[in-house]
């Protein structure tokens, strides 16, 4: 693999393809842009370390990267619970946000805020299946649950979002 | 597939059948063909939330972040080369450290802080990661 040999073109191609994906995953899991950048960077440090041992075709590399990123996200979520900060990340209550005549960007802010209000496991299921577009089997394996349990998390998460965004969903 | 299962899948995966379990898509398509009105009602409800979710756009990595990630690859590769070189030519812990220091020191400039932070993150990663990697990567030689 070119990455393992330090091939600049291969490295750039991998970064171009995977960095946005890892950043999006971390951003939606953590609800914080700066922390998401840290996680995305840390995922790639891990990638470079493993590069010499990669064998093409023996792993679904994208899933492995998701696993690393999710672990790092959960480390940070745990740390937040242990060390409450005076200045929490950008996670407004969606109910406090404007709900009439919303532009697309305002809508997105409200949706992100609602997503971040969900319990972490429900959020994770929606992020993996809806935004990262992983299959149910991949998502369930990443989360260490059965497909049935994944479906339950997804359904509860979506119900929670509907409740948080009720005024928008009905309109 | 009955309408109840169709509703369950819609409540979990949304209105886009491409997100549904692969094994159930064909049956879902048959149900849609056989019961267009009932299925449309179910899907319409899920589609409202899908549309809201899709208003959230993924962040675009900054050029700074992209460059930092690419720099970390160069640093890691340089260190791998230094390690390999030291194993080949200068056996022994002291010699390895010396070789790594010479090569890595020549290439790595001003990166100590960022690298340390990366290593801490790796140390904090999930304990089962090593087994995942070893399972997935056949023929790992070292």
Q: What tens digit of pLDDT does each residue of A102-135 get?
A: 677 889 999 999 999 999 999 999 999 999 999 9
CB contact under 8 A, A54 and B137: yes
Of A165, A3, A106, the closest CA to residue B69 belongs to A3
> The tokens of A36 are what?
């998401």
Check CB contact under 8 Å for B58 and A20.
yes
B134 to each of A14, A64, A115, B47, how far by Cα in Å?
A: 22, 12, 34, 41
Q: Tens digits of per-residue pLDDT, A144-164?
A: 999 999 999 999 999 999 999
B136 band by pLDDT with thresholds 50, 70 and 90: very low
Which chain A residues are closer than 8 Å to B132 by Cβ?
64, 67
Q: Inter-chain contact A40–B69, Cβ cutoff 8 Å?
A: yes
Q: Is A52 an interface residue toward B (CB < 8 Å)?
A: yes
Give the closest-approach CA distance of A113 to chain B in angstroms: 10
φ/ψ of residue A65, rounded to 5: -60, -40
Nearest to B23 by CA among B39, B38, B11, B5: B5
pLDDT tens digits along B38-80: 999 999 999 999 999 999 999 999 999 999 999 998 887 777 7
Put simply, the answer to whether A44 touches B73 (Cβ < 8 Å) is yes
Question: Got the DSSP string for B126-142?
Answer: -TTHHHHHHHHSTT---
Mean pLDDT of all residues in A37-64: 83
**How many Cα neighbours within 13 Å face the side chain of B90?**
16
Measured in whole angstroms, how far is the alpha carbon of residue B89 from the centre of its chain? 36
Q: Which of B62, B125, B139 sits opposite A71 (nearest CB)?
A: B125
Backbone angles phi, psi at A87, to 5 degrees: -120, 85
Domains in chain A and their CATH numbers? 1-90 (1.10.1740.10), 95-171 (1.10.10.10)
Sort out which chain B residues have CB atoms less than 8 A from A11's CB and list them: 70, 73-74
- Compute the distance between CA of residue B91 and CA of residue B87 in angstroms, rounded to an integer: 6
B123-135 pLDDT per residue, tens: 344 334 444 344 4
Q: How far is A45 from chain B (nearest CA, A)?
A: 6
The pLDDT assigned to A10 comes to 84
pLDDT tens digit string along B72-126? Answer: 988 877 777 677 666 666 566 666 666 666 666 555 544 444 443 433 433 344 3
How far apart are the CA of A153 and the nearest CA of chain B, in angstroms?
Answer: 8
Instruction: Please check whether residue B66 touches A, CB under 8 A.
Output: yes
């Amino acid at each position: 693999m070119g990455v393992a040999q330090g091939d600049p073109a291969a490295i750039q191609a991998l970064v171009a393809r995977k960095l946005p994906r890892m950043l999006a995953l971390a951003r939606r899991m953590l609800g914080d842009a700066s922390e998401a950048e840290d996680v995305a960077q840390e995922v790639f440090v891990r990638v470079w370390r493993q590069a010499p041992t990669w064998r093409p075709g023996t792993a679904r590399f994208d899933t492995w990267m998701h696993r690393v990123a999710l672990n790092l996200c959960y480390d940070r979520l745990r740390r937040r619970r242990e060390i409450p900060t005076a200045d929490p990340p950008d996670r407004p209550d969606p109910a406090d946000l404007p709900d009439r005549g919303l532009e697309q960007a305002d809508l997105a802010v409200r949706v992100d805020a609602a997503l971040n209000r969900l319990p972490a496991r429900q959020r994770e299921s929606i992020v993996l299946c809806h935004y990262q577009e992983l299959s149910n089997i991949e998502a369930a394996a990443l989360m260490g649950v059965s497909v049935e349990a994944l479906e339950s998390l997804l359904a509860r998460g979506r119900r929670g979002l509907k409740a948080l965004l009720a005024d928008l969903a009905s309109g | 597939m009955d309408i109840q299962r169709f509703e369950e899948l819609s409540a979990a995966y949304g209105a886009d059948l491409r997100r549904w379990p692969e094994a159930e898509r064909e049956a879902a398509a048959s149900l849609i063909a056989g019961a267009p009105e009932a299925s449309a009602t179910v899907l319409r409800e899920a589609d409202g939330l899908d549309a809201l979710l899709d208003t959230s756009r993924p962040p675009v990595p900054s050029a700074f972040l992209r460059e930092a990630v690419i720099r970390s690859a160069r640093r890691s590769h340089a260190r791998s080369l230094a390690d390999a070189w030291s194993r080949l030519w200068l056996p022994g812990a002291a010699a390895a450290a010396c070789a790594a220091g010479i090569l890595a020191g020549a290439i790595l400039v001003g990166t100590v802080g960022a690298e340390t932070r990366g290593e801490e993150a790796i140390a904090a990663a999930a304990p089962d990661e090593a087994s995942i990697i070893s399972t997935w990567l056949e023929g790992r030689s070292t």
